[in-house]
Structure 1
Amino acid sequence: MKDAPVEIGAKDLNGNGGIFCPSPMAGMKIWNSHPRVFLDIAHGGGAAKCPYCGTVYQLRAGEHVGGGH
Structure 2
Amino acid sequence: MFGLGIGELLVILVIVLIIFGAGRLPEIGEGLGRGIKNFRKAVKTPDEIDVTPPSASAAKPEPPKPESGEPQA
TM-score (norm 1): 0.19
Going by fraction, where is strand more abundant, 1 or 2?
Answer: 1
Larger radius of gyration: 2
TM-score (norm 2): 0.18
